[in-house]
Amino acid sequence: MKRQHAHPKHSPYTELAINTIRLLGVEAIAQANSGHPGIVLGAAPIMYSLFHDHINLNPKDPFYFNRDRFVLSAGHGSALLYATLLVSGFESITMEDLKKFRQLGSKTPGHPENIVLPGVEVSTGPLGQGIAMGVGLAIAEATLGAKFNKYTKFVNHYTYVLFGDGCLEEGVTQEAIALAGTLKLDKLILLYDSNKIQLDGKVDASTNYDVKKLFKSYHWNYLKVKNGNNANSISKAIAKAKSMHNNQPTIIEVNTIIGYGSRFQGTNSVHGSPLSADQIQELRTNLRYKVPPFMIHENVKEQMALVYKRGNVHQRKFNLALQQLESKDLNLYNEYIKLSNNQFAFNNAWFDTYQSKPDTSTRLMFSDLLQYVLIQNDTFMVGSADLTSSTFITHKKSIPFTVKTRRGQNIFFGVREFAMAAINNGITAHGGCRCITSTFLVFSDYNKAALRLAAISNLPAINVYSHDSITVGEDGPTHEPIEQIPSLRLIPNHFLFRPANKTECIVALEHAVKSTNSPTTIITSRGNIAQYDSPYELAMKGGYVFKHVDNHHINIIATGSEIPLAMKISESLQAEGINARVLSFNSIELFEAQSLDYKATIIDGKPTVSIEFAVTTPWYKYADLAIGIDQFGKSGKPNDVIQHFELTSDKIMSKIVTWYQSFKK
């Protein structure tokens, strides 16, 4: 028998509550003279039905672990979310906060930000990413449930995502929903605000697919509500979606009217333009709404108190389940406590016995070291964009994550780089899980938007990129990264590591595992590179003396694959009477976090050369001469490509000698 999910009967004040959400939203937008009233007026019944009847949240404790997750993928509708949280009794937001909508320093920014307002699960705005993050949240719920639901339904919640036509048109959405159907994430429910209007006009001017057939082809349940103003019908559809445990996620298409009640309803004019005072008064008349601006009627407060009552009961049940877990399995309980606080295991001693080969690729070495972390952290997910055989980022002793094996740690993302990174963000945002994803460095451009959103959101997502330079050779310029490393370093609140040896790989891993509020990118080599030891304590500083020479005349900065090259050049320069100290900058971001005194011992005023097979311009912050590549690569054998660009050790040494002689003059 299918489980039934009843929903409360709506009161005579249902319409008043919905219109309160509408007017609070459009009044905040009007006061800011900026925002998107169309979705607020059209989708308010969806939000009311979800929050009043279904979602399990505690407005007084919005972070309890087993809460339902809600994502507003259509992040431009932030005023709708803020108004809903306010009428639902969330203590994290006040009427004054709503009045400061889109103002500097407010808790109600133009698009929802998880780091600003409790009740916002993930930051959204770039369309489509919210749906992909919803998929990640659902994956996390599934694997954590499989781990902890040994005695009771301990981790057992739904993920709801509200989105519109713009989100559905984004390619990242198509990638994400295809994977969600494949993985059979049946506790993921999408709420589609289907109004057939977007900013430039009607949706059918650019899009003509059949939504039902599209989702059915991806193995989703499809439900439809023809009247988006009928809260009862919406609530029944959500209840049905929760009862359809057939190993398929569900989409509910709700036919709404954009800008409902305003003079511009049903047109693109109301999408992103605030209503004037006269137009809001006209809206009030049309909706028969008489409550003064920025006020909530007592009957609405009483009605929406159901959100807290239901959420409080749900949380108490969770706490009882937690007590039961503690009494029956103390080890599992203690593990939950750590994971719920995002405390993951890491111990440098794990790697003591690991011996790298004299010449090896850092992709292979990093993969070997990663296994220790994955074995000790069984809620770490890992996967690649169909490149596991090349990046080596996999759990060698685990199984795939499927509907039958929710404890599998390997996710087959398919060739879906953008969705992969966005799903990673969702898994990370859930709590209790982490995800490590990988592809070729050159394809980081496909998922950079998700990396940026992770940095904005303080999400410690982990992304690994192999095939780090033009030394991939035969694949040619389309696969040879040139500008990717510098462009990734430009992302604020983001740490990039380019390790050269075992020590630097461990440093990168440790930072990634222990990070709590910033994403980590790790770049590995395809080709084998000579291995040199370096002290762990120095490598932890991000930039340090890799090779010391007495009375050095110049510094040579290098990273990752270019460290052995710099070492060889340093030795050759001695024959020319030039003492060259080698500096490893395994992480510029870590280096910049060091004290001014320390940094002055590294960038010490001596003539400095940088060597990195990437765009040279950013290196002039540290170097007087930057050696790299400022054009696209070539197709050919790796050594031939290196020689073509005059990046062999003898050519570089010759450039340095000539430069240093002129520098002395």
Catalytic residue positions, numbered: 417
b/e burial code for range 260-288 (CB count within 10 A of at least 16 → b): bbbebbbbbbbbbbbbeeebbeebbeebe
3-class secondary structure per residue, 429-495: HHCCCEEEEEEEHHHHHHHHHHHHHHHHCCCCCEEEEECCCHHHHHHCHHHCCCCHHHHHHCCCCCE
- How far is residue 490's CA from residue 521's CA, in Å, rounded to a whole number? 12
Strands (E), 612-665: 625-627
Instruction: Please name the helix (run of DSSP H) or strand (run of DSSP E) that holds residue 318, with its range, or none.
Output: helix 298-328
**CB distance 38 to 271 below 8 Å:** yes
Instruction: Please name the helix (run of DSSP H) or strand (run of DSSP E) that holds residue 521, with its range, or none.
Output: strand 520-523
**Token digits of residue 74:** 């259509």
- How far is residue 348's CA from residue 505's CA, in Å, rounded to a whole number? 11
DSSP bridge partners of 583: 545, 557
CA 550-558-564 angle, 5° bins:
80
- How far is residue 96's CA from residue 182's CA, in Å, rounded to a whole number? 45
Task: Tell me how far CA of residue 591 lies from CA of 461, 547, 564, 565, 647, in angstroms.
Answer: 21, 17, 20, 22, 26
Residue 182 has phi, psi (to 5 degrees) of -65, -40
**CB distance 587 to 495 below 8 Å:** yes
Instruction: Please name the helix (run of DSSP H) or strand (run of DSSP E) that holds residue 581, with its range, or none.
Output: strand 580-584
Q: Helices (DSSP H) in 244-297: which residue ranges?
A: 277-287
**CB distance 77 to 46 below 8 Å:** no
CA 560-562-564 angle, 5° bins:
100
| Bridge pairing between strands 520-523 and 462-466 | parallel
- How far is residue 417's CA from residue 413's CA, in Å, rounded to a whole number? 8
Q: Which residues contact 349 (CB under 8 A, 6 or more apart)?
A: none
- How far is residue 649's CA from residue 627's CA, in Å, rounded to a whole number? 11
Which residue carries 């039934």 as its tokens? 4
**Token digits of residue 618:** 């950013």
**Length reported for the chain:** 665
- How far is residue 141's CA from residue 160's CA, in Å, rounded to a whole number? 12
